[in-house]
A and B are shown apart, each in its own frame.
Chain A
Amino acid sequence: MKIVPRRWRVSALGILLLTVLSACTVGGGGYVGGVYEPYGSDYGGWGSGYHVAPSRRGERRVEQPSPRAYRPAPRSRPSPSIPTRPRGR
């Protein structure tokens, strides 16, 4: 009479432990996203010639006087634009 309940107890205890462990790992409190940043630029220095937008296809390239840390795309390639195919076409 004592053996069966003991087996059940051991099994139940095992499941209980697994459940508790699982509860600890699926919580959403640690979502990987959304970060407060240090105060950035005050944007006061954006003059009329300060451009951040993408190029239109075919924009000319500039000749850089000094070597770059990055590998520039070949001068023969114009600066690419953004995807322009509308949704559903």
Chain B
Amino acid sequence: MKSLAALLGVLLICSVPAAAQKFELPPLVEPANAEHHVGKVIWVDLVTPDLASSKRFYSGLFGWTFRDIHAGKADYAVAFLDGRPVGGLLHGPVPSGEQRRPAWLPFIAVRDVDAAKRTALEQGAKVVKEPRSYLRRGRQAVFADPEGAVFGVLASSSGDPSDLLAAPGEWIWSSLLAQDPDKDAAFYQTLFGYDVFDVPSDDGLDHVILSTDDYGRASVNALPSHASRRHPHWLNFVRVVDAVDVAAKAVALGGRVLVEPHVDRHGGKVAIVADPTGAPFGLMEWSDTDSRREPK
């Protein structure tokens, strides 16, 4: 009997960390829906070496609130705007001995993560993080495209967010900056079934729009030829009412302006800023008058 009691004791001790380590992410959509929008950016994750500083910055800039999730070695915070999850902040040290920067990572909707992995590999991508399932979130993985730009795929178990205009403070757009937009657009077209639209540009460089469900989902743009560092990467934009005001606020909160606010293709202003840890992201104005003019 003594040995049985000892065994049960060990059992209890072991079961406590098992329960405490559960990494339970909130569902993407609550209540769940049956919508699927393959090719749409449906989640964005930031990796940061200073979680507290990042939370202060984004809370001050966009009014985001946070719910912390601690599990094992992972410190993660889900960001909310008006009760809706808008992104995740993952704490992690910068890999030692490497010149790396924090980044916002877009997750693009797929139906089947493992099928997407097979196709991505066939088309020249690499697996950065193998597919993994999370109880209320779904299944996700991280790949690097043939040029090395990193992106995630996510099969949400609660459906995909509806196609609605992002509110100020929500992610509204994503752009891929690529060495060869022509070839990279072909890769993403094969993976997500995008319609690809070439659009006019004043700079003589290739710019295309990736579309599904007759909505623009992202742009692919040739990296500016004058840039000294030209590593392909994804850049995500938050909708703002006034890009000049928000860029100034970002600086006041410890960030930097990387590209000054200027008028873009749609008639509103965009700017690129970096948070205090150096993670770049975009600000994009989008006027509500467009919504009234373009019923869908």
Which residue of the partner chain B has the closest CB to A68? B182
Given A40-B177, A53-B270, A53-B284, verify A45-B227 contact (CB < 8 Å): yes
B190-211 Cβ-contact flags toward A at 8 Å (1 or 0) = 0000011111111101011101
Interface residues of B in 93-114 (CB under 8 A from A): 94-95, 98-103, 105, 107
Within the assembled complex, what's the spacing in Å between the Cα atoms of A31 and B128? 12
Does the CB pair A28–B22 fall under 8 Å?
yes
Does the CB pair A84–B296 fall under 8 Å?
yes
Within the assembled complex, what's the spacing in Å between the Cα atoms of A59 and B208? 12
Does the CB pair A33–B199 fall under 8 Å?
no
Interface residues of A in 38-89 (CB under 8 A from B): 38-57, 59-62, 64, 68-73, 77, 79-87
Within the assembled complex, what's the spacing in Å between the Cα atoms of A43 and B76? 29
Does the CB pair A39–B101 fall under 8 Å?
yes
Within the assembled complex, what's the spacing in Å between the Cα atoms of A28 and B134? 10
Which residue of the partner chain A has the closest CB to B189? A70
List A contacts of B132 (CB < 8 A): 30, 32
Within the assembled complex, what's the spacing in Å between the Cα atoms of A57 and B172? 16
Which residue of the partner chain A has the closest CB to B228? A42
Within the assembled complex, what's the spacing in Å between the Cα atoms of A29 and B3? 33
Does the CB pair A84–B130 fall under 8 Å?
no
Q: Decide if B46 is an interface residue (CB 8 Å cutoff).
A: yes
List A contacts of B258 (CB < 8 A): 42-43
The minimal Cβ–Cβ distance linking B295 to chain A, given in whole angstroms, is 8
> Which B residues contact A (CB, under 8 angstroms)?
1, 3-4, 7-8, 10-11, 14-15, 17-18, 21-23, 45-47, 69-74, 76, 88, 90, 92, 94-95, 98-103, 105, 107, 128-132, 140-142, 148, 150, 152, 163-165, 167, 172-173, 175, 177, 182-183, 185-186, 189, 195-203, 205, 207-209, 211, 214-216, 219, 221, 223-233, 235, 237, 258-259, 262-268, 270, 272, 280, 282, 284, 286, 288, 290-291, 294-296
Nearest 8 Cβ contacts at the A-B interface: A28-B71, A45-B224, A28-B23, A49-B202, A34-B47, A45-B226, A34-B90, A23-B18
29 contacts between A and B (CB under 8 A): A5-B3, A12-B7, A19-B14, A28-B23, A28-B71, A31-B74, A32-B132, A32-B141, A34-B46, A35-B103, A38-B100, A39-B101, A39-B229, A47-B226, A51-B203, A52-B207, A52-B235, A54-B265, A54-B266, A55-B197, A55-B209, A56-B265, A60-B200, A68-B196, A71-B196, A73-B211, A85-B164, A85-B291, A85-B296
